[in-house]
A and B are shown apart, each in its own frame.
Chain A
Amino acid sequence: MCTYQTALVDVSGSGKGRDGWFPVTKASVYFDHPVSAPADHTLNIDLMNPDRGASARVAVELDPGSARQLAYAILEMLDTAPPGLVEPA
């Protein structure tokens, strides 16, 4: 199905796309049909910079289990970073 569900997040950082590195400003997170991954549905993340056009995008399509592992790993890394390096959430 097309779930239509989408979470949009403002982000700040860089991503490496088709034409090299560029600043990313938006993340679109959704569970829906993948373009490439061999599954009916995947957890998809698009890191984008809308000001630079549709091609300024870094995309991943992950199976649900690995997407959760990735999310846990991100939180763990942030939570266990040396004191003073990460501002409290």
Chain B
Amino acid sequence: MSDAMRAATITISGHGGDEIEAYVAQPLDTAPTGGVVVIHHMPGYDLATKEIVRKFASMGYLSICPNLYSREAPGAAPDDAAATARALGGVPDERLVGDVAGAIAYLKGLESSNGKFATIGYCSGGRQSFLAACSLDLDAAVDCYGAFVVATPPEGAPLKVGPLLHLAENLSCPLLGLFGAEDQYPTPDEVAELDKTLTELAKEHEFHTFEGAGHAFFAVDRPSYRVEAANEGWNKIWDFFARFLAS
């Protein structure tokens, strides 16, 4: 493997056939390999998220991040796009699922795809990764501290989100959950409830909660970054994908 990769902004067909922006990265000299859809956090399709996409490619996976705010703010800076999307009520769940399906369809069409796909999301994207895994036929999914999978969002919040626990019976693939012990969104109790529900439903999953870490401990450009939890979390991700995305 030469470590060569191609990364580019492209246009894909998202929910409802809408043309949306996406950032894709792929290793150039790989045997058929798995694909990872990265679901960006609520602050948007930003540089840090694109860096994560390239990180997956550097580890041998096809990787893509759809810009979930393409429709509201085409061509805008990530922070402006996030502000606009927020003011308009955020990303509806149905549309998220359609956009992730479109991203998977794009990866499936690449010559180096082995036909196996995962989602990973951070923060609001963690919730959306779980949503995608309960709505699409996937091979693996990772939920990094997604809030409001179990709990109900605060009243009066104009954004179109609600709890997802009722969808757990539809979980289509093994789920890796990575959480911070000091996080309040989701709380350790919510994580325990999700764990219990998935166990009762005999859904394959593994959850890891890191001491000394709160919300967004993977975010290298934010004060919440916790290097030990993030490094260990990445190791869990590589191990998980090696098991479930291998040819």
A residues contacting B by CB (< 8 A) are: 1-6, 8, 26, 28, 30, 32-33, 35, 38-40, 46, 48, 50, 53-55, 57, 59
Judging by beta carbons under 8 Å apart, are A38 and B81 in contact?
no
Judging by beta carbons under 8 Å apart, are A5 and B42 in contact?
no
Q: Residue on A with the closest CB to B87?
A: A28
B residues contacting A by CB (< 8 A) are: 41-43, 46, 72-73, 76-77, 79-84, 86-88, 90, 123-124, 145, 147-148, 153-154, 156-159, 161, 183-185, 214-216, 222-224
Known: A4-B157, A6-B157, A50-B88. 7 other contacts (CB 8 A): A1-B123, A6-B86, A30-B86, A33-B216, A39-B223, A40-B222, A57-B80
Given contacts A4-B154, A53-B76, contact A33 B83 (CB under 8 A): no
Judging by beta carbons under 8 Å apart, are B84 and A48 in contact?
yes
Judging by beta carbons under 8 Å apart, are B72 and A54 in contact?
yes
Judging by beta carbons under 8 Å apart, are B215 and A1 in contact?
yes
Given contacts A53-B73, A54-B72, A55-B77, contact A40 B86 (CB under 8 A): no
Q: Chain B: interface secondary structure? A: loop
A50 to chain B, nearest CB (A): 7
Other-chain residue from A40, A46, A53 in contact with B223 (beta carbon distance below 8 A): A40
Judging by beta carbons under 8 Å apart, are A33 and B86 in contact?
no
| From B42, B80, B82, residue with most partner A Cβ within 10 Å | B80
Q: Residue on B with the closest CB to A32?
A: B42
